[in-house]
Amino acid sequence: MARARGLEAIVMSDARSAILARVDRALKTARIPSGDPERVALHAPAIPAAAVVGRPFQGRRDEIQARFIAESRALGVDVFVEASADAVRARLALLVDGQRVLSWNADRLPYGAGTVVAGAAWGSSPRDEQALAQVGVTGCHGAIAETGSLALLSMPGCSRAVSLLPPLHVALVRAEDLFFEMGAFFEARSDQIAAASNLTFVTGPSRTADIELSLTIGVHGPARVVVVIGP
């Protein structure tokens, strides 16, 4: 009996060691690169050395933007940087062309982008119409450079479902929405946060992993996230 218990303890110890080893490997390789770097990089500015992914850094607005782009790319987010409001609207028109769109209300979208999604479903539309959407279009209340996260507040005209339901989420980011870290965002948007019903952080496409550490994209949210940064 004692020998059997000893063998059982050895087996359990080996299993524990194997599991911990897999967790350790997963932590070392957790960052997922973009699947198509050329498609993302063509529209992003050169990234200064100070904005290397994972390096603590605070600096000028252009450097903060570059850091946000670097972190977003590493998460598999497509990033486009446009020099004018007209260019932002043109980019959005290309992204939603021929697609069923679910959008924040027109007056909640920056750069006059509401004109591009004039025929879209809104957060107030019937649920069956929202469920058919292929693209969700939102603005942004904060873009966190340190993590590549988008901060979206739920309030009238800014439905949370828009960023969660469709398989593609397009977020329009203004220069003033860029913050280096979470603390700066919370300080600058404290009044809006207090008035909102919900605050959602979007950090790349939706990812789900099972106990075997097999990663699946797009199960509990969009499989693709596109960010369009304007002037």
Q: How far is CA 156 from CA 21, 163, 222, in A?
A: 47, 15, 22
| Mean pLDDT of the chain, nearest integer | 79
Segment 131-134 long-range contacts (CB within 8 Å, at least 24 positions apart): 131/165, 132/100, 133/100, 133/101, 133/102, 133/165, 133/166, 134/99, 134/100, 134/101, 134/166, 134/167, 134/168
Q: Report the DSSP pairing between strands 142-144 and 149-154.
A: antiparallel
Q: Give yes or no for residue 176 having a pLDDT over 70.
A: yes
Sequence spans of domains, the chain:
1-30, 35-229
- Residue 57 is predicted with a pLDDT of 45
Give 10-54 pLDDT, tens digit per residue. 545 666 776 666 656 555 444 444 444 444 344 444 444 444 444
Query: What pLDDT was estimated at residue 220?
Result: 52
Q: Does residue 216 or residue 94 have the better pLDDT?
A: 94
Check residues 108 and 12 and name the one with the higher pLDDT.
Answer: 108
Is 35-229 CATH 1.20.810.10?
Answer: no
Query: 43-52, 193-202, 222-231: which range is least confident on average?
Result: 43-52
Proportion of the chain above pLDDT 70, given as a percent = 68
Q: pLDDT at position 60, please?
A: 83
Q: Which residues contact 202 (CB under 8 A, 6 or more apart)?
A: 149, 150, 152, 163, 169, 171, 221, 225
Find the helix or strand (DSSP H, E) in which 62 lies: helix 61-74
Nearest partner of 200 among 156, 134, 141, judged by Cα: 141
Task: Supply angle C-alpha 40, 43, 106, rounded to 5.
Answer: 95
